[in-house]
A = this chain, B = another copy of it.
């Protein structure tokens, strides 16, 4: 046992490896997530890695599970709101995925989606997360008074927009860009019942 129970151990544990792996994934992409590089970053050798993980794939799957759990927990927080404030909450959801407000999260998001294009396990996790996100956003739109088809389409537009925006390299001055983002967010989150 490590001292008693939950005290942070001096030595590395599986979770520390996973967190460091996500950092490296964000910076270098899945192709750069290499065992020996990760070990070097943590100041140890890969002897430590293979103590905590069976192989590289074991780490990959652990990273995906960790990411999925974190995303779903976040979605829960971001889409719960008092009745009547759904439109404002949708604006908040859009804001959370702005690269300027959450650069690290966006980098991880993009890295995982890039990964998902060439890895079935990653694709399955992204599908699950997308399904939850779409459902929660759709409910907010429904609460705003939109019909089923429109709510679903708006939810898809919302997430396509936020991720797509972080893919563009626009030649727009940053303060104008911020105003532009607000205008677009208003369009996407606009509801018949409230001007928001």
Q: Could you tell me which residues of chain A, from 168 to 196, have a CB within 8 Å of some CB in chain B?
A: 168-172, 179-180, 183-184, 187
| One of A14-22, A46-54, A113-121 contacting the partner | A113-121
Contacting pair A159 B164 (CB below 8 A): yes
Contacting pair A127 B169 (CB below 8 A): yes
Identify which of A113, A160, A163, A187 gathers the most chain B CB atoms within 10 Å of its CB.
A160
Contacting pair B184 A153 (CB below 8 A): yes
Q: Which of B31, B167, B183 contacts A164 (CB 8 A)?
A: B167
Q: How far is the CA of A2 from the CA of B159 in the complex (A)?
A: 52
Contacting pair A157 B127 (CB below 8 A): no
Q: How many copies does the complex hold?
A: 2
- The bracket for how many chain A residues form the interface is 35 or more
A117 nearest CB neighbor, chain B only: B110
Q: Is A105 an interface residue (CB 8 A)?
A: no
Q: How far is the CA of A149 from the CA of B172 in the complex (A)?
A: 11
Contacting pair B160 A167 (CB below 8 A): yes
A110 nearest CB neighbor, chain B only: B117
Contacting pair B171 A134 (CB below 8 A): yes
A124 nearest CB neighbor, chain B only: B169
Sample 28 A-B pairs with CB under 8 A, ordered by A number: A28-B118, A29-B31, A29-B118, A31-B32, A110-B117, A116-B169, A123-B169, A126-B169, A130-B170, A130-B171, A131-B170, A131-B171, A134-B170, A149-B183, A150-B183, A153-B180, A156-B168, A156-B170, A156-B184, A157-B187, A160-B160, A160-B164, A160-B167, A160-B168, A160-B184, A163-B167, A164-B167, A167-B167
A-B complex: 3 closest residue pairs judged by Cβ atoms: A164-B164, A31-B31, A160-B164
